[in-house]
Structure formats: C-alpha cells, structure tokens
Structure 1
C-alpha cells in the first residue's frame, strides 16, 4: 500500500525534529552560569529551541520533499494542474506561529522585567568604555577607580555604562548579560553574581582595530571580601588625592595610586 505524501512528510519531520531538538538541548551553548539572570535566560533559550526547531524542520521537510518528489521529469514541459489555495489551512498556518511568537514575547518580557528589577541595596558602579579598555569607578569607595570589575556574591550591582568615544558593548558571557555603551547616553545593567571566581569581560561591538584586545576580568568575591576590597581601594584613592594636592603645591607632576586587587 502506497503511503500518502503528507504522512511521509509528517513522519520524516517528526523524527528529524526530535533528533535535532535533543541535540540542541544536550549541547552546552553557554559557559557555567554565574548570575541569577543566567538560569532564567538559559531556560528561555531552551523554550525558544523547543518551539522553533520543530517549525523550522517541518518547513524544510515540506520544501525538500516537494522539490525532490514533485520535480519536473526529463522531457516534461507542461504546467501542473491549476490549484486553489486552502483558506482554512492558510489561516491555521498563520495563526499557530502568531500564537507561538506572542507567547514567547510575553515570556521574554517577564524574564526581562525580573532581570531589570532594581533592589534597594544595589551596589552602584560606574563603567567607562574607551578604545580599547574598561575602567570602573566605585562611589562607595569615595569615587576610586579600578581597571578590574569586582562584584559581591549575592548582592545586586547596578552598572552605569558610558563611553568616551565610539559604541562598545559590555558583555560577560558567564552572566549572560550584555549592554551597549552609546556615545552621549548612560545605559544601565543590573547583575547579581552567584559564583565566586573570575570571568571574562569582553567588548561585543566592533569598535576599532584593537577590538579583540578589549578583554578584562570580572572578579566575584564574598560580601565580606568585597567590603574589605572597597576599603583598600578607598585608602589608595585618598593617598592618590593627597599626592596630587602635594604635587600641585610643589609644582610637581601628580602621582596616582589606586589598587586593582
């Protein structure tokens, strides 16, 4: 008994969808999660995979099957039989993707709102991007500067991001957080780190010939160590300020002293 083409396409598409979806979910696309937002973003990514791969595979299965099965045979130059569209099928074909996209958008907005929610005890940190480095200013350390971003574990940090030249993009892959630094604007990014350790900070926007070298470290420490580090940074900043005043009075070139570790 000959199988109906629709049944053949359905079987092929279903098998391919299961295999490809399983492979996509097994692969570790991201580094180990290091922020509270990472788990929510990873779950959202998995949901998008579950929704998008079956649709993609179904469309490609129909397209490839139709090209192979109904291709013009050698010597056959006639037109195919005239067909009229199926209105009910077309409405269904448009409605299903619309519902899926709307549901994903709503889910994404929920995740985004949770990520952007500000906590009252957030640590303010001012981030400045320039070709080809990042600098960080800590208001809680008297405005001291550092070339290392240090975050306390379990406490939200509010990053206020600016740029001195072109567009850059602040990205910490392990924390799944990325925000552009736009000339003339101050953008905001809120991160709550969860795992002590060092993580890569990279610029994700092509910003010039040295773009690939714009890489630094984010260090996550326990809250007690973070407070101790702030005190050390504050003392170094105070020493640098005194040196600057003294040098100005003596007519010497100011010296700077701001610890990074």
Structure 2
C-alpha cells in the first residue's frame, strides 16, 4: 500500500469520525449552547488526535530497530511553529469556552445583586427582582421539589410546568440542605441553597416531559429526589394556570398531546 493510499484512508477515517458527531436538534437554548461548544472543541481535537497518532505510529515503525539512535537536530523554526500553534489552539479553546460560560442561559446568575444593587439579600421569593421572563418559584426540600406560580397561586409537587418557546426563569431555594436541580436533556443545572436564591434560565423549544434529578447529595433519600419539567405550548400553559387559579391549589401538570 502506497503513501497516497494510506493518506486517503486516514482522511476517510477522519471524515467518518466527524460525520458521526453531527449535531442533532437541541431541545433548549441551554443544550444548544453546550452542544455547540462541545462540537467546536471536538472538530479541533479530532484532527489533532489523528495527527499525533499518525506521527506516533510512524516513529514506532520507522525506528523500532534503530540500535544506534541519534539526538534530534535543533530546528528553531519548528519549535517556534509548534509553540505558536499551541498558543493559538489554547486561545481558541479559552475564547470558545468563555463565550458560552458568560451566556445568561448557561450562567444566569449575573448575580441577583447585579440586577438589584440596592439589595444585599432577599428574605423571600417576593423580594426578588423582576426578570421580565415567565417565572416559576421552586423550593427543594428532603426529598421533593415544590413549584409555585406567583401570578396564579398554583403549586405543584415534583412537576415544574413551563411554557415552550418562551424565556423562563426558575428561581430556586432550599428549605434544609443544598440541593441541585439538574435537567440533562435541557442542559439546566443550578444549585439551591438554604436561605439563598439562585436562578436558572431557559427557552425550551420542544414541548414534552423532561426528567429532573437532584445532583447534590442531600441525605438518605437523595436518589429518590426526582421530578419532571413539563413544557407545553403557551396556550395550554395559560389555560392550565387559569383553570387552577385559586389560592393554595396543588395540582398536576397538564396532559401532553
């Protein structure tokens, strides 16, 4: 097999690997941002990995019987080239990661203090600044999640109903120990602290039911602290709130079509 054939095979293998990592439709803005970053880094990492492996195999085959090795000759131009190339790659990784990490859907806690600099702390959900999003207040406790809807006096247990295709802010707190709201399919993860309030922000594009787990060990019932985020279209969401708009109502999520 000639050098050209080996090169073509290597390029075909690389193309196959890249094709296998093709993007799929994300179900939320959060997931889209995280997946986009992963694919950017993957497209850089795969060619580098293949390049290093080819050099490694080449060196192992060419020099495996070399009983009298000689030191590599100095090559300043080559050293400068790989140093600059490494710096460029690291800069790309840093800028790509930073652009995603500062996005309000990935790191939504642009700190509550930033949104309301006149307040150092908040005593209840009622004190939180207005986010201009559809808001849901979620309280974690051993070992359940309770969601309340401030404008409708609706409360649910272990089901967090949100409208699809809208900006949604989930304000989180805890009644006892540290919990963490984690929705893998939506790319949402935010801790809930006793006596403090944190924020998770999202836009869910596909109506459906998404599993929620607690990602912070919180006691003997930690593994059972499961819930669901139920995303429905805006009309269904408004109708569901209106049907249960009575004080202290505890209800189930609307049925998905």
Q: Which residue does the alignment assign to 1:113?
A: 103
Contact in 2 for aligned 1:12/1:61 (Cα 8 Å): no
Residue 38 of structure 1 is matched in structure 2 by 31
Calculate the TM-score normalised by the size of structure 2.
0.71
Q: CA deviation at 1:195?
A: 1.8
* Structure 2 match to 1:82: 71
Shift of 1:65: 3.5
Counterparts in 2 of 1:166 and 1:114: CA distance versus 1, 3 Å: closer
SS in 2 for 1:121: coil
**CA spacing shift, 1:200–1:102, aligned 2, 3 Å:** same
Contact persistence 2:154–2:251 (CA under 8 A)? no
Between the aligned partners of 1:72 and 1:130, the Cα distance in structure 2 is 66
Q: Which residue of 1 aligns with 2:22?
A: 25
Give the TM-score normalised by structure 1.
Answer: 0.70
Matched, 1:95 2:84: yes
Are residue 260 (structure 1) and residue 252 (structure 2) matched? yes
CA distances 1:32-77 after superposition (whole Å, capped 9, x unpaired): 632234334333332222111111222233234433442356xx4x
Q: How many Å separate the matches in 2 of 1:33 and 1:70? A: 48
Q: Mark the runs of 5 or more structure 2 residues left unpaired by the alignment.
A: 111-129
1:230 aligns with 2:230: no
Are the structure 2 counterparts of residues 170 and 127 from structure 1 closer, same or farther at C-alpha, using a change threshold of 3 Å? same
Largest Rg, 1 or 2: 1
2:112 paired with 1:122:
no
CA-based RMSD of the aligned residues comes to 3.4
Cα 1:123–1:64 shift into 2, 3 Å: same
Q: CA deviation at 1:18?
A: 2.5
Q: Is residue 157 of structure 2 the alignment partner of residue 155 of structure 1? A: no
Q: In structure 2, what is the equivalent of residue 246 of structure 1? A: none
Alignment of 1:1-261 (within 5 A): 14-25=11-22, 33-71=26-64, 76=67, 80-111=69-100, 112-113=102-103, 115=105, 121-142=132-153, 144=155, 146-182=157-193, 185-237=196-248, 258-261=250-253
C-alpha distance in 2 between matches for 1:85 and 1:233: 78
Counterpart of 1:25 in 2: which secondary structure?
A: coil
Which residue is 2:127 aligned to? none
- Give the direction of change, closer, same or farther, for the CA distance of 1:201–1:88 in structure 2 (3 Å limit): same
Query: In the TM superposition, what is the alpha-carbon distance from 1:170 to its structure 2 partner?
Result: 2.0
Structure with greater helix share of residues:
1
Structure 1 spans left out of the alignment, 5+ residues: 238-256
Q: Is 2:154–2:246's contact at 8 Å kept on the other side of the alignment?
A: no
Question: 1:158 offset after TM fit, Å?
Answer: 0.8
Residue 142 of structure 2 contacts residue 219 of structure 2 at CA under 8 Å; is this kept in 1?
yes
Tell me: CA distance 1:212–1:144, structure 2 relative to 1, closer, same or farther (3 Å): closer
Q: Structure 1 CA distance, aligned partners of 2:57 and 2:191?
A: 40
C-alpha deviations, 1:68-127, integer Å up to 9, x for none? Answer: 442356xx4x5x212344332233223223323323433444444263679963022222
